[in-house]
Homo-oligomer: A and B are copies of this chain.
Amino acid sequence: MGAMHILAVAGSLRADSINAAFCRAAARLAPPDLSIRVQRTLGSLPLFNADLESAPPHEVTALREAVGAADALIIASPEYAHGVSGVLKNALDWLVSYEGFVGKPVAVINTSPRAHHAYDSLLEVLRTMSATVVHQASITVPLLGSCPTEAEMITTAAIAQQIRGALLALGSALQSRSMVRPIFPMDPA
C-alpha cells in the first residue's frame, strides 16, 4: 500500500494561527506512510451562495478536487464566540453538495481544551455531511497559551508525541478501512 494522502485544514486565517501551525507541525511529524498537505486557500473562497452551485467559482472547484483526492482530512479550527469559525463553516458549506465529501474520514483537532461548543457543533455538522469522523485520531491538544508555534510543537516532546499518536491512529484507521472496503461495497467512501 502506498502513502496515504491527507489534507490538513485550519479554520483560522491569522498568520500566527495555532491551528495552522498545528497543521504544519503535523505535516512535519507524519510517519512515512502518511503524506500531509496543508490547504492554504480557505481565505480565497467566496462566501457560500447556493445560486452559484450550477457553475462553482474556480476556488471552490479547486477545494473540492483537493478534498476528493485526499484519503482523509485533518481539521484544526479555533472557537470564535463559542461557534465554529465562519471561515471554516463557509468552506464546509461549499462541500455540502459535493459527493466526494460523503464518507470522507476526518480527524478533528481541538487545540483549546477549554473550548467545546464549537467542537461539538463541528462534529454535528460533519456527521450531517456524512463524513466519517475518526475518533481515535481526533484529539484535544493543550496548545493555546503553551505551544503557539510550529517549532515549539515539534520540540515539545509531550506535544509531538500526542500529534504522532493521532497520526498513527489515523493511518491505522485508514488502513483497516481500506482493507474492509470490499466487504461493504455500499460504503460511500
Count of A interface residues, CB-CB < 8 Å: 35
CA distance A86 to B91 in the complex (A): 8
**CB of A28 closer than 8 Å to a CB of B:** no
Contacts of A14 in B (CB 8 A): 49-51
CA distance A152 to B184 in the complex (A): 48
CA distance A124 to B47 in the complex (A): 23
A73-86: CB near B (< 8 Å → 1, else 0) gives: 00000001111111
Q: Which chain A residues in 84-131 approach chain B with CB under 8 Å?
A: 84-93, 96, 117, 121-122, 124-125, 127-129
Instruction: Write the residues of chain A forming the contact surface with B, with a CB cutoff of 8 angstroms.
Output: 12-15, 42-43, 45, 47-51, 80-93, 96, 117, 121-122, 124-125, 127-129
Task: Supply 17 A–B pairs (Cβ within 8 Å), ascending by A.
Answer: A12-B50, A13-B48, A47-B47, A47-B87, A47-B90, A48-B80, A48-B86, A49-B87, A80-B93, A81-B128, A82-B125, A83-B84, A83-B121, A83-B128, A86-B86, A86-B87, A87-B90
